[in-house]
Amino acid sequence: MHLLNYSKRENLILLFKPRQRPSATSKQYFELTSQLLFNFY
């Protein structure tokens, strides 16, 4: 289960990397999404 969470987070990072910008909003959004994923899985 922990490995599944890690792989899902890695997929999220790969998904977010191409359009990653040094803006605070995108970073906040990414952290929020990862927290939501960890809560659900």
Structural domain contains residue 37: yes
Structural domain contains residue 15: no
DSSP letters, 2-24, are: HHHHHHHHHHHHHHHSTT--S-H
Q: How many domains, the chain?
A: 1
Residue type, 12: L
- Write out the residue range of the structural domain in which residue 34 sits: 1-8+24-41
Structural domain contains residue 17: no
Contact 38, 16 (CB under 8 A): no
Structural domain contains residue 16: no
- Please list the pLDDT of the chain residue by residue as tens digits (41 residues): 455 555 676 766 666 665 555 565 777 778 888 887 777 65
pLDDT of residue 14: 65
Structural domain contains residue 39: yes
